Chains A and B, each alone.
Chain A
Amino acid sequence: MLASIEKNILLFLLISVGLIALPHIYHIPASIFGFFVLLLTWRFIGIWKPSCLPGKLLLFLLTVGGLVLLYSQHQGLFGRDAGTRLFMTALALKLLEIRQERDLYLIVFLAFIVAASQFLYEQSIAMAGYILFVCCVLLGTLVAINSRRQNTLNALKTSAVILAQALPLAIVLFVFFPRVEAPRWMLFEDKSRAKTGLSDSMEPGSISDLGFSDELVFRVRFQGPIPPNAQRYWRGPVFSVTDGKRWTAAKRYTYTAAAEPDFSEPAYRYTLLLEPQNNNWVFALEMAGDFPPQLHMNSEYLLTRSGNPDKRAEYPFTSYPSYRTGELSGHKLRTNTQLPGPASQKITSLIKRLGGFDTRPEQFVDRVLQHFNRENFSYTLTPPLMEDNPIETFLFETRSGFCSHYAAAFTYLMRVANIPARVVTGYHGGVLNPVGNFLEIRQADAHAWTEVWLENRGWVRVDPTAAVAPERIEQNVNIEQQIASRNISFFSADSELARQLDWLKQARQLWSSVDYNWQRWVINYHSANQTQFLASLGIESLKQMLYWLVGLGALFTSILSWLLLSRKEKTADKVLRCYRRFCARLGKAGLKRNAGEGPLDFAKRSKKAYPKQTEAIDEITGLFIKLRYQKESSQADLSRLSERVDQLKIRRR
């Protein structure tokens, strides 16, 4: 009955349940979390005042209340969120119903499920560490329930040892056990969760404040040199259709394959670890020459992948910054010079002034860039809204904007001047993590630029933003981004604070590096990776691997059992261990203690063999007898015994 469940076990259990529920605060609506906290607090109070615990009727009403709450939030019980919340509510309700020992077990196992459900939301290394810690506390609860040991610390220690022992087995299973890909319906997809990222259209005029997100998009590790920042354009969706405000992709090129451009050296080889995305675009350095066969490159050189973009994936690439594309088909020419309507007088005159229609396209491109550079254009992330006729407003009135404004305006000008042009979006730059020697590209690195088709050269990248804010492109000095990521230092470089911040920065980089490897080797270890990894170990098939597993298991077990059987009985008794050490010392010198020989008899015999050590042997034996057989002994005796045994020097006879 309840009375027999000790207070400290309950306390232990409730604390561990609280710890488990804590990270769920981010994913669970306040009402359900509040319900959980309320019941947990109730139970806490119930430890000291058992009379205030709810009776059967009240408990029933609470259960109904919890179900109503769940239903009002979800209208169902399927899916990741609903399931997690159901378990949380059930756990909270069960807490109020602890009557027997089996209820405690039930709660512990429920808590394990709730702890595991945390991984459906977050799989970071920090969360894994936290869950491991929480599991340790939970196991400690189980230990406490079973041993009835009063000492909390001892229970925790035992559970930590159990976990530590389980870890190697978990690692072996993780590496070798066939990875099962969860069927799609089990992925608990949650479309409501908004992921920031590039979108499939661009409408610069409607944005007045480009929010920055520090969220990681992908990481790149180069084999060999890393290209300079000015060449680090990671190609994303291409927009070639516009209505004057909004730029979208041309539908018809989505699935047609690309004609491979002519590449010339240098080549950059790298692997790219892509974080979960909303769209199935894969970003590669311009221009990707070799890419994995599971990727598809359309005629606008956009790489896409089939399958779930919600999954982290890793791809090897080879890119060539210098390339030359071929001729433009008639249809493509039409698409890339498409305009929503005739250009206004103002724009035509600007183009005329800059030598459009007459000069060679290359020259015109340069002149427009010069125009951006010389006139009073500025780069800002908080441009004014340009609702109607955004391009004209931008070119003649506001003259401030971010990359999309420039790319859109530039492309428009090119098209009016009959030069095929299109907007390319993607990412630019990336910050090198010197610890892990990889580039990190974040959402804040999103960029838009223009591609112009020139006779004999094909598609050529032109970045009008570079004409306005060259530092943005060349050095990647992206002030706003740095502020956003809190990397910037407002203090003079030599101040103490700056140095500390530097240290912080290094720590941050180290952490990103650890996280990169965690994502790469642990989270991203799915069946394809496993197959690849196992193949590198010479395991080709599942059957073979099973043989391996069984074989390894048998080997491990036999070695372990052999060790266990052959090992001399080891004892937890410190006193006995000390004395065994003493016996071992004498034994090494040639005097073995017989199994049935008591300490006094052995002392007598050893004194006879080593008369010089009489005093030491007497003291050791005396202390041992005191510690082992007598009523009272102290810790000091034990340390003295250990000390004396260590001091004992016996020369071989």
Chain B
Amino acid sequence: MQNPIAPLLESANRSILGKQHQIRLALCCLLARGHLLIEDIPGVGKTTLAHTLAKLLGLNYQRIQFTSDILPADIIGASIFDPEERSFKFHPGPIFNQMILADEINRSTPKAQSALLEAMEEQQVTVEGKTYHLPSPFFVIATQNPAHQIGTFPLPESQLDRFLMRIELGYPNRNAERELLRGQSRYHLIENLQTELPPEQLKNIQQLVNTVHVSSALLDYLQNIITFTREFPDYPCGLSPRAGLSLLNAAKAWAFMDSRDAVLPEDVQAVLPSVAGHRLRSASQDSGAVVAPILERVNVL
């Protein structure tokens, strides 16, 4: 099977340098129909990543900059009185796009945050008794600044749970940074990107991801992980059933991206830090360290 993902990844890697694993995870999250949370300091390429993915997938893209005074209506849209028709008319907000970059989501007040998160969960928006469906596919990439930075409202655990994955980008390595410094402007590069995976094909792939085989042996492993997180004293709370489902979906997508028709324990392990890290300990930034006991102690066989 010629993997349609490969050219997409290649293009993305050309525009975002030295972040192959993170790009792969972001795409995996997309194929698993989940939303992505990127947590990092400003300027490491969060926006570029979101923009690149939108471009490569041919999705219409909108960026919402969250600030402390942003209101739900600024995100969802509002009904405004039309004097000519003498009626209120709904003006859809920026959320009515296929790919949203919710930048610095933890800078806004909880009220605005929850407006976005509700839309994410239900794939629809209700304004003044009328329900508006969001476009499909609908994919939110939210970025947040580390909690220690000034003027942040950290997302509560319940809200964090709505993101399939949380990834950290981190600084580029020396070589990548050098190339970045020498190369042309990223903005232009992204503008010139070709669509590699049109939305219809993305839908097909999302269907295919669902058919990846999951053996009972793997479910055993998955359940062992979940049980372990619920019993391990260092975790304030274990993985919820939704988290378990997310983990499985992400592992399926990861297996698909590796051109495999069955999920292996390695797939689960690959997505585990991103999927479980923010759920197990939201304050910690190092997801790898958070899930290390799981990877070490839960027997694969």
A is bound by B: yes
Inter-chain contacts of A601 with B (CB < 8 A): 266, 269
- Quick check: which of A163-171, A485-493, A623-631 contacts chain B, the rest being far away? A623-631
Q: How far is the CA of A600 from the CA of B265 in the complex (A)?
A: 9
Q: Are the CB atoms of A599 and B297 closer together than 8 Å?
A: no
Q: Known contacts A596-B294, A596-B295; decide if A630 and B262 are in contact (CB<8 Å).
A: yes
Judge whether B266 and A630 touch: CB under 8 Å: no
Q: Is B25 an interface residue (CB 8 A)?
A: no
Size of the A side of the interface (Cβ < 8 Å), in residues, is 17
- Interface presence of B115 (CB below 8 A): no
Given A629-B262, A630-B261, A631-B261, A597 contacting B215 (CB threshold 8 A) = no
In the complex, the answer to whether B262 meets A597 with C-beta atoms within 8 Å is: no
Cα–Cα distance between A226 and B213 once the two chains are bound (Å) = 79
**Bound-state Cα–Cα, A579 to B262, Å:** 18
A598–B215 touching, CB < 8 Å: no
**Residue-by-residue, is A89-127 near B (CB-CB < 8 Å gives 1, otherwise 0)?**
000000000000000000000000000000000000000
Chain A CB within 8 A of B218 CB:
yes
Complex partner residue of B297 from A573, A576, A595, CB under 8 angstroms: A595
Closest to A594 in B: B296
A598 to B270, CA, bound (A): 11
The yes or no answer to A580 lying at the interface (CB within 8 A) is: yes
Q: Are A596 and B299 in contact (CB under 8 A)?
A: yes
Q: Are B299 and A595 in contact (CB under 8 A)?
A: yes
Please determine whether A576 and B264 come into contact, CB atoms closer than 8 angstroms.
Answer: no
Are B297 and A600 touching (Cβ within 8 A)? no
Bound state CA distance, A343 and B183, in angstroms?
Answer: 149
**Across-interface contacts of A580 in B (CB, < 8 A):** 301
Would you call B213 and A595 a contact (CB within 8 A)?
no
**A594 cross-chain contacts in B, Cβ below 8 A:** 296
- What 0/1 pattern do residues 586 to 630 of A give for CB contact below 8 A with B? 000000001111111100000000000000000000000100111
Q: Give the residue name and chain of the B residue nearest to A600 (CB).
A: B266
Which residues of A sit under 8 angstroms from B295, Cβ to Cβ?
Answer: 596
- Please, what's the 1-or-0 string for B262-301, where 1 marks a CB less than 8 Å from any CB in chain A? 1111100100000000000000000000000011111111
- Which of chain A's residues has its CB closest to B293's CB? A596
For the complex, what is the distance from the CA of A573 to the CA of B215, rounded to whole Å?
14
Asked if A599 and B300 sit within 8 Å, CB to CB, the answer is yes
The reply to whether A599 and B264 form a contact with Cβ atoms under 8 Å apart is yes
Which residues of A204-251 have CB atoms within 8 Å of chain B's CB atoms? none
| Residues A8-64 near B (CB distance < 8 A) | none
Question: Known contacts being A594-B296, A599-B265, A599-B300, is A628 close to B217, with CB within 8 Å?
Answer: yes
List the A residue with the shortest CB-CB distance to B258: A600
- Selected from A596, A630, A631, the residue in CB contact (under 8 A) with B269 is A596
Say whether, besides A576-B301, A630-B213, A625 and B262 are in contact (CB < 8 Å).
Answer: yes
* CB-based contact B296/A596 at 8 Å: yes
Query: Which chain B positions have C-beta within 8 A of A579?
Result: 301
Instruction: Give the docked Cα–Cα distance between A580 and B299 (Å).
Output: 12
Whether the Cβ atoms of B261 and A598 lie closer than 8 Å is: no
* B263-A629 in contact (CB<8A): yes
* A597→B217 CA distance, assembly (Å): 15
Counting chain B CB atoms within 10 Å of each CB, which of A573, A597, A601, A629 scores highest? Answer: A629
B265:A598 contact, CB within 8 angstroms: yes
Q: How far is the CA of A629 from the CA of B266 in the complex (A)?
A: 11
Residues from chain B with a CB closer than 8 A to the CB of A631 are: 213, 215, 261-262
Which residues of the other chain, A, contact B217 by a CB distance below 8 angstroms? Answer: 573, 576, 628-629
CB neighbours (8 Å) of A598 from chain B are 264-266, 269, 300
Q: What chain B residues lie within 8 Å of A595 (beta carbons)?
A: 296-300
Given contacts A628-B217, A629-B215, is CB(A597)–CB(B261) below 8 Å? Answer: no
Q: How far does the Cβ of B152 sit from chain A's closest Cβ, in whole Å?
A: 34
Q: Which residue of B lies closest to A633 (CB)?
A: B215
Digit string of A415-442 for contact with B (CB within 8 Å is 1, else 0)? 0000000000000000000000000000
What is the CA–CA distance of A595 and B228 in the complex, to the nearest angstrom? 14
- What's the Cα separation between A601 and B218 when bound, in Å? 16
Q: How far is it, in angstroms, between the C-alpha of A630 and the C-alpha of B264 when the chains are bound? A: 9
Chain A residue numbers with a CB within 8 Å of B300 are 595-599
Q: Tell me the smallest distance from the CB of B223 to a CB of chain A, in Å.
A: 15
Complex contacts, B213 vs chain A, CB 8 Å: 629-631
Complex interface: chain A residues within 8 A of B265 (CB) = 598-599
Residues of chain A with a CB closer than 8 A to B262's CB: 625, 629-631
Contact of A600 among B261, B264, B298, B299 (CB under 8 A): B264
- A-B interface contact total, Cβ < 8 Å: 53
- In residues 44-88 of chain B, which contact A (Cβ within 8 Å)? none
Q: Shortest CB–CB separation between residue B248 and chain A, in angstroms? A: 13
The 8 Å CB contact of B215, one of A599, A600, A630, is A630
Least CB distance from B173 to A in Å reads: 23
User: In the complex the two chains form, what is the Cα distance from A599 to B298 in whole Å?
Assistant: 14
What separation, in Å, do the CA atoms of A600 and B269 have in the docked complex?
Answer: 11
* Cα A630 to Cα B212 with chains together (Å): 9
B227 vs chain A, min Cβ distance (A): 14
Closest to A579 in B: B301
Which chain A residue shows the least CB distance to B299? A595
Residues of B within 8 A of A599 (CB): 264-266, 300-301
* 8 A Cβ contacts from A625-651 to B: 625, 628-631
Contact across chains for B264 and A625 when beta carbons are under 8 A apart: yes
B contact residues around A630 at 8 Å (CB): 213, 215, 261-262
Give the Cβ gap from B297 to chain A, nearest Cβ, in Å: 6
CB of A143 to closest CB in B, whole Å: 23
From residue A582, how far is it (CB to closest CB) to chain B in Å?
A: 11
**Which B99-125 residues have C-beta < 8 A from chain A?**
none
Could you tell me the distance in whole angstroms from the C-beta of A186 to the nearest C-beta in chain B? 55
A573 cross-chain contacts in B, Cβ below 8 A: 217
- In contact, B218 and A629 (Cβ under 8 angstroms): yes
Q: Which residues of A contact B298 (CB under 8 A)?
A: 595-596
**In angstroms, how far is the closest chain B Cβ from the Cβ of A17?**
38
Cβ–Cβ < 8 Å partners of B301 in chain A: 576, 579-580, 599
B215–A628 CB distance below 8 A: yes
* Closest A residue by C-beta to B266: A598
Query: Closest Cβ of chain B: how far from A575's Cβ, in Å?
Result: 8
The digit string for A555-596, where 1 denotes a CB below 8 A from any CB of B, is 000000000000000000100100110000000000000111
Residues of A within 8 A of B218 (CB): 629
Q: In chain B, what residue has the closest Cβ to A624?
A: B301
Q: Which residue of B lies closest to A583 (CB)?
A: B301
Bound complex: CA of A557 vs CA of B115, how far in Å?
63
Q: How far is the CA of A631 from the CA of B213 in the complex (A)?
A: 6
Shortest distance in angstroms between A225's beta carbon and chain B's nearest beta carbon? 68
Give every chain B residue within 8 A of A625 (Cβ-Cβ).
262, 264
User: What string of 1s and 0s marks CB contacts (under 8 Å) between B203-223 and chain A?
Assistant: 000000000010101100000
Quote the shortest CB–CB distance from B110 to chain A (angstroms): 37
Distance in Å: Cβ of A223 to nearest Cβ of chain B:
62
| List of B residues within 8 angstroms of A596 by Cβ | 269, 294-300
Give Cα A596 to B224, complex, Å: 11
* Minimum C-beta distance from B293 to chain A (A): 9
Cα A355 to Cα B128 in complex, Å, equals 146
Q: Specify the chain B residue showing the minimal Cβ separation from A630.
A: B262
Q: How far is the CA of A601 from the CA of B266 in the complex (A)?
A: 7
Residue on A nearest B211 in the bound complex, by CB: A631
Expressed in whole angstroms, the Cα–Cα distance for A629 and B214 within the complex equals 7
Give bound CA distance, A599 to B265, whole Å. Answer: 8
Instruction: Tell me how far the C-beta of A541 lies from the nearest C-beta in chain B, rounded to whole angstroms.
Output: 51
Chain A residues at the B interface, C-beta cutoff of 8 Å: 573, 576, 579-580, 594-601, 625, 628-631
A-B CB contact pairs (8 Å), 18 listed: A576-B217, A579-B301, A595-B296, A596-B297, A596-B299, A598-B269, A598-B300, A599-B264, A599-B266, A601-B266, A601-B269, A629-B262, A629-B264, A630-B215, A630-B261, A631-B213, A631-B215, A631-B261
Seen from chain B, the residues whose Cβ lies within 8 Å of a Cβ on chain A are 213, 215, 217-218, 261-266, 269, 294-301
* Further pairs besides A596-B296, A631-B262: 11, Cβ < 8 Å: A573-B217, A579-B301, A596-B294, A596-B298, A598-B265, A598-B300, A601-B269, A629-B263, A630-B262, A631-B213, A631-B215
**CB-CB nearest 10 A-B residue pairs:** A598-B265, A631-B213, A598-B266, A630-B262, A595-B299, A596-B295, A629-B262, A629-B215, A600-B266, A628-B217
